Each structure stands twice: as structure tokens, then as C-alpha cells.
Homo-oligomer: A and B are copies of this chain.
Amino acid sequence: MDTEIRHIGILIFDEVEVLDFAGPYEVFSQTRLSAGVESRHSIASAPFTVFTIARTDAPVKARGGLSINPDYSFSSCPAIDLLLVPGGMGTRAILEDDDSLAWIKQLGDNAKLVTSVCTGALVLARLGYLKNKKATTHWSALEMLRAMDDSIDVQAEQRFIDDGVITSAGVSAGIDMSLAVVEKLHGLDVATDTARFMEYRWKK
């Protein structure tokens, strides 16, 4: 197990889908190597630190208007081990923004693991991370993903796909993907305990 992945960097941007980033944020920030509820009262057995990253330090307005202050901007961000790119209508603007794309590529190239939720997969496709790989996205964007890079083996009807780069289906599927990452890194017991804390019906 790779216990070296500690710093989880979650990208946020205007019109990011709320649950796309908040579900994984919940999973990674509440994972504890010691089971139960008491262990969640401190970070003593927390294997991850989680932070949000945006283009600048300015507040980000997610879908529905939720206003979030990013922990870091692209230029102030410390080294991360896992990059998570969520989806939402805001991905369309990122696909047109060469400056953001270059920064996200730099973050991804320096991370040990690159992941996406929902239409975040479109951003990964644009950056070439999904070339010749199996991948998935929100059900409404499967065709768009295929059209962006025909070397991608686009999979429907799956909660997430781990083909080196990990992509997940829409919105709530990011929770399943994040729990799978916890399982991969820290074992089934730790992932199951996290799902139980969240009362999330996992693997059912």
C-alpha cells in the first residue's frame, strides 16, 4: 500500500458542481486509520490533509451560488500527491482557458495520482491524461468525452474506472471513487469505517 499519498488537492472553480468536490472532500478529510467516531474528533490518525485550489485567491462561486474561499491559488499551492478535478458547467470555461489548463497540467504531472469526478474527465482528456485509457464521466457527457479523444475507451454504467488515472461517473459517484482510493491506499477496513461514519451505502 502506498501510504505516501497525504496531500489531497481538490480543484475548485466558478460553476463547479457542489457535490462533485464536497463528496470527496468529506471522504478524504474524515478518513481515520483508527476506527469509530472518537477518532474523528482529532486529526491524530488522519492519513490525509485536504485542501482546495483555485486559479486565484478570490472566492469561487460554485453551482447554485455557494461561495468558497480556496485554500491556495495555482501559484501558492504546495506540492500535492493526489489531484482531484471535479466537474460541473464550469469545466467548459476551463477547457477554453489555456492558462488554467497549463497550471492543472503542472499539478497533475507532479502528483502521484490524478483523478476526476463527473465532467472533470473532460479536463483530463484535454490534458492528454486519458489517452489510450479506459475512463468514464457523467452519463450526459459520455459522447463528448469520446469526441475529445477517440483513443479513450469510454465506459458507461460504472461508478468509477481505475486505469492508472481514476475517473468517476456523475456527481455522487465521486464519493464511491474516493472511498475506493482510501481502500487502495489503506485497506478495506479503513474505507468501510469511513463509509460507516458517513452512513454512506457503499458496495451495496
Name A's B-contacting residues (CB within 8 A). Answer: 17-19, 22-23, 25-26, 29-30, 37, 41, 50-52, 59, 63-69, 71, 89, 138-140, 159, 169-173, 175, 197-201
- Are A19's CB and B22's CB within 8 A? yes
A140 lies within 8 A of B30 (CB)? no
Q: How far is the CB of A113 from chain B (nearest CB, A)?
A: 19
Instruction: Say what secondary structure dominates the interface of chain A.
Output: mixed
Task: Give the shortest distance, in Å, between A12 (CB) and chain B (any CB).
Answer: 10
How far apart sit A69 and B66, CA to CA, in the bound complex (Å)?
8
Q: How far is the CB of A173 from chain B (nearest CB, A)?
A: 5
- A17 to B37 CA separation, bound complex (whole angstroms): 13
Q: In the complex the two chains form, what is the Cα distance from A197 to B89 in whole Å?
A: 13
B140:A37 contact, CB within 8 angstroms: yes
18 further A-B contacts with Cβ under 8 Å, apart from A29-B66, A67-B69, are: A18-B29, A19-B26, A22-B22, A22-B26, A26-B171, A29-B63, A50-B65, A51-B65, A52-B66, A59-B69, A65-B71, A66-B68, A67-B68, A68-B68, A69-B69, A138-B199, A171-B198, A171-B200
Residues of B near A198 (CB, < 8 A) are 19, 170-172
A25 near B29 (CB under 8 angstroms)? no
A116 to B119: give the CA distance in the assembly, Å. 31
Q: Which residue of B lies closest to A169 (CB)?
A: B199
CB distance from A4 to the nearest CB of B (A): 20
- CB-CB under 8 A from A67, the residues of chain B are 68-69, 71
Could you tell me the distance between the alpha carbons of A197 and B140 in the complex, rounded to whole angstroms? Answer: 9
**Nearest CB in chain B: distance from A193 CB, A:** 12
**Which B residues are in CB contact (< 8 Å) with A170?**
197-199
